[in-house]
Amino acid sequence: MMGRLNKRVAIVTGAAGGIGAAVARVFAAEGAGVVVADVLDAERGRPAAELGGLSRPGAGRRLFGVVAAALALYGVFLRPRVLSWGATREEGDRGFPGDDLVPDADGASTMATTLPAPPEEVWPWLQQMGCNRGGWYSWDRLDNGGHPSAECIVAEWQRLEPGQHLDSLPSGDAWFTVAVLEPERTLVLRSQTKLPSGRPLDAGYGPLPRAYIDAIWGFHLRPEPGGRTRLVVRTRARSRPRPLTRPMDMLFWEPAHLIMQTRQFHNLSTRVSATA
C-alpha cells in the first residue's frame, strides 16, 4: 500500500547513490517529502531530480560540518561530565581494586553518590544484584526483562563468591563474573563479550577473539560521617575493532550507562532509606 508516509518529511544522507539513493526513492514513492544530502554534491543532483526535488549545492558539506561541530562540542564539554557524574576529581584520579583487570582500557568512567546508610547496610543490596536475583535497581524494562527489582533483602541471594556468574539477561544467555569481592567494601563484575554475536566469554580464560568487549563494573563503598556511605562506581573497558567500537561507545554506550547508573543510584538510595 502506497502513501504510508504522506505529510511526512524524510532527510536522507549519503543519497548520491547506492543504499542512500534507494532509500530516498522508496520514501518518495510512499508519499514523503524527501530532502537528500551527500558530500558528493554533483552526484546528489541526480536522485534529487529523479524525485522531483531540488538540489542545493553545498548542502551535504554543510550538514557534515554541522554534525562534526556537534560531535566536537560534545567531546570537549559534555562527555567529561557524562563520564564523571557525581564524582570528585580525587575519586576520578584514584585507583580502585579491579582496575588492573583492564590495564590498557580504551575508556573509563567514575560516577558516585552518597547513600543514607552505613556500608554494612548498603552491601546486602549490592550482593543480591543480577537478573533472576534482586535485579539491578535501574530501569527494569531495559535491564531486567520488565521484572521489578527487589524491594527488600532476600536471604537466598546473599551468597556471593569470586567466579560466580550473575545473569545480565533474564534468559541467562549473558552474564557478569564476580572478579573482585571484598565484603562491605568492593564488588567488581567483569564481562567479556564476543562481537558481533554478543556471546559471553569466560573472563580470564584463553585468548580474546579479534572483535570483543572486555569490561569491568566496580562498586566501591567507603564509610562517611553520619552513618552514610560513599558509593563510587568505576567502569573500564577495552574493545576491538576500535574504529567501529569507539563511535558506539561515545554516541550510545556512555550516555546509556549514565542513564542506567543514575537511576540505580536513585533506587538504591530509596531502598536503603526505607530500611535504615
- Tell me which amino acid residue 18 is: G
Residue 61, burial from CB neighbour count under 10 angstroms (0-12, 13-18, 19+): middle
Selection from 33, 2, 42 nearest residue 17 by Cα: 42
Selection from 125, 219, 154 nearest residue 180 by Cα: 219
| Residues 213-228: tens digit of each pLDDT | 999 999 999 999 999 9
- pTM to 2 decimals? 0.76
| DSSP helix/strand/coil, 93 | helix
- Asked if residues 97 and 110 have their Cβ atoms less than 8 Å apart, the reply is no
| Residues 71-94: tens digit of each pLDDT | 677 676 789 999 999 999 999 999
As a whole number, mean pLDDT of residues 2-30 equals 64
The answer to whether the bond into 241 is cis (omega within 30° of 0) is: yes
Q: From residue 271, how far is each of 15, 58, 85, 230, 253 by CA, in Å?
A: 52, 55, 21, 15, 26
Tell whether the model's pLDDT for residue 131 goes beyond 60.
yes
Q: From residue 252, how far is each of 77, 79, 208, 256, 258 by CA, in Å?
A: 17, 12, 23, 6, 10
- Asked if residues 47 and 24 have their Cβ atoms less than 8 Å apart, the reply is yes
Tell whether the model's pLDDT for residue 250 goes beyond 50.
yes
As a whole number, mean pLDDT of residues 10-14 equals 62
Picking from 8-17, 76-85, 173-182, 247-256, which range would have the lowest pLDDT averaged per residue? 8-17
Q: Supply the DSSP string of 216-266, one letter for each residue.
A: EEEEEEEEETTTEEEEEEEEEEEEESHHHHHHHIIIIIHHHHHHHHHHHHH
Report percent pLDDT > 70 for the chain. 74
| Residues 17-74: tens digit of each pLDDT | 566 666 667 667 767 666 665 545 444 445 555 555 544 555 556 766 766 677 677 6
Give the span between the Cα atoms of 249 and 199, in whole angstroms. 18
Selection from 134, 115, 232 nearest residue 185 by Cα: 232
Picking from 74-78, 156-160, 228-232, which range would have the lowest pLDDT averaged per residue? 74-78
Give the span between the Cα atoms of 72 and 259, in whole angstroms. 21
As a whole number, mean pLDDT of residues 95-112 equals 96
Selection from 10, 4, 59, 56 nearest residue 33 by Cα: 10
Tell whether the model's pLDDT for residue 115 goes beyond 90.
yes
